Amino acid sequence: MFSLDLLLNAIVAGILIGGFYAAVSLGISVSFGLLDVVNIAHPSFVILGSYTAYAMNRFFGFDPLLTGLLFTPIFYALGVVVYRLYYLGFERKGEESLRGLVFFFGVLFIVEVALLLAYGVDYRMIEAGYVGQSFHIGVVGIAFRLLLPCLVGLMITVALHLFLSKTFYGRAIKAVSQDSQALRLMGVNPVKIKRIAFALSIATASLAGALLILIGPVEPSIGREYIGRVFAIVVLGGMGSISGTLAASVILGVVESLTATFSGPSWAPAVSFGILLVVLAVRPAGLFGR
């Protein structure tokens, strides 16, 4: 069954899906990797982004990507509120480790139940002219449904990388992850910086959600399918490394695609997590971790 045609297609499909994984994982990379906030509710915010894109598409005919972009400020504000609650309830008291985890579990359920009540359990899909269209470069077929999420994933990665490395707030976010006390001594309020960073991570979920519903149908609890995968990507890439997250996303995407093509799709998660274990054994900080 092996052929060059199949191999090339598998690699391209893997890169495309890797770009999408990056879009979903970047938010976790910021909150978990940089801030040490284990936001396991992140995938449910992504699903919230999907339903926002769905609603705007259904009622106003908006393109999902446009909705994803337009709603980033609202998701940012939502992130501010969630972080405020988390900070006041747990982080300030130094109870963030286990109780904070329970808090995010609670947030996950609240988001899921709210979506369930509003939209029911049916799977929702989106209508856009380019969904279902594809083009060929030589023997390689590329679907717009996968190409767009990959490009947007790359764009978010670049934007986030530039923000973190070139701007004052970006550098402050990196600094707060290293030593918040030192940052305080420099006259910067670490809580404010963490709030900005966390809100930014939730803002990325707006776009990631729009990408998710472009790729396939969603239902309120489908985010749980992604929890393991996105945390694995963040750990594999190296905690808090934005470029590492992208690299890990593409590696996992390509590995899954090759496994699904040549050895049977059932093996894909096992091979992905096997790679994670091997990398952690050799490089405990992850691929790009310090």
Partner 1 sequence: MALGAAWAPAAQAADPIKIGFGMALTGALAGNGKAALMSMQMWAEDVNKKGGLLGRPVELVYYDDQTKPAAVPGIYTKLLDVDKVNFVVSGYGTNVIAPLMPIAVERNLLLMGLFGMANNEKTKYKNYFQIMPSGPEPALGWSQGFFEVAAKQQPKPQTIALVGADAEYPHNALAGAREHVKHYGFKVVYDGKYPPSTVDYTPIVRAIKATNPDLVYVASYPPDTAGIIQAVHEVGLPVKMFGGGMVGLQFAALQTKLGPKLNGVMNYEFYVPEPTLSFPGINEFLARYQAQAEKAGVDPLGHYIPPFAYAYVQVLGQAVEATKSVDQKKVADYIRANEFNTIVGKVRFAPNGEWAKSRVLMVQFQNVKGSDVAQFKKAGTRVVLYPEESKSGTLIYPFSKVLK
25 binds partner 1 (CB under 8 A): no
Of 16 and 173, which CB lies nearer to partner 1 in the complex structure?
16
Of 2 and 168, which CB lies nearer to partner 1 in the complex structure?
2
Q: Which value, to the nearest 10 degrees, does the dihedral of the CA atoms of residues 66, 69, 70, 72 take?
A: 160
Minimum CB separation from partner 1 for residue 100, in Å?
Answer: 26
Of 165 and 263, which CB lies nearer to partner 1 in the complex structure?
263
| Per-residue contact flags (x/-) with partner 1 for residues 258 to 277, judged by CB under 8 A | x-xxx-xxx-xx--------
Question: Of the candidates 208, 184, 253, which has an alpha carbon nearest to the alpha carbon of residue 29?
Answer: 208
Minimum CB separation from partner 1 for residue 198, in Å?
Answer: 26
17 binds partner 1 (CB under 8 A): yes
Minimum CB separation from partner 1 for residue 36, in Å?
Answer: 26
Of 95 and 127, which CB lies nearer to partner 1 in the complex structure?
127
Tally the residues of the chain: 290
Which residues, 6 or more positions from 105, have their beta carbon under 8 angstroms from its beta carbon?
A: 40, 41
d(CA 230, CA 260): 19
Single out the segment in contact with partner 1 by CB under 8 A; choices: 13-21, 66-74, 99-107, 190-198: 13-21
| Per-residue contact flags (x/-) with partner 1 for residues 205 to 244, judged by CB under 8 A | ----------xxxxx-xx--xx--x---------------
d(CA 244, CA 67): 28
- Chain centre distance of CA 21: 6
Are 253 and 21 in contact by the 8 Å Cβ rule? The answer is yes
Please identify which residue in 55, 80, 143, 154 interacts with partner 1, judged by CB under 8 A: 143
Amino acid sitting at position 106: G
Contacts within 8 Å (CB) and 24+ apart, 126-135: 126/53, 126/54, 126/57, 126/64, 126/213, 126/214, 127/57, 128/57, 128/63, 128/64, 128/214, 131/214
Binding site for partner 1 (CB under 8 A): 1, 3, 6, 9-10, 13-14, 16-17, 20, 116, 120-127, 131-132, 134, 141, 143, 145-146, 215-219, 221-222, 225-226, 229, 256-258, 260-262, 264-266, 268-269
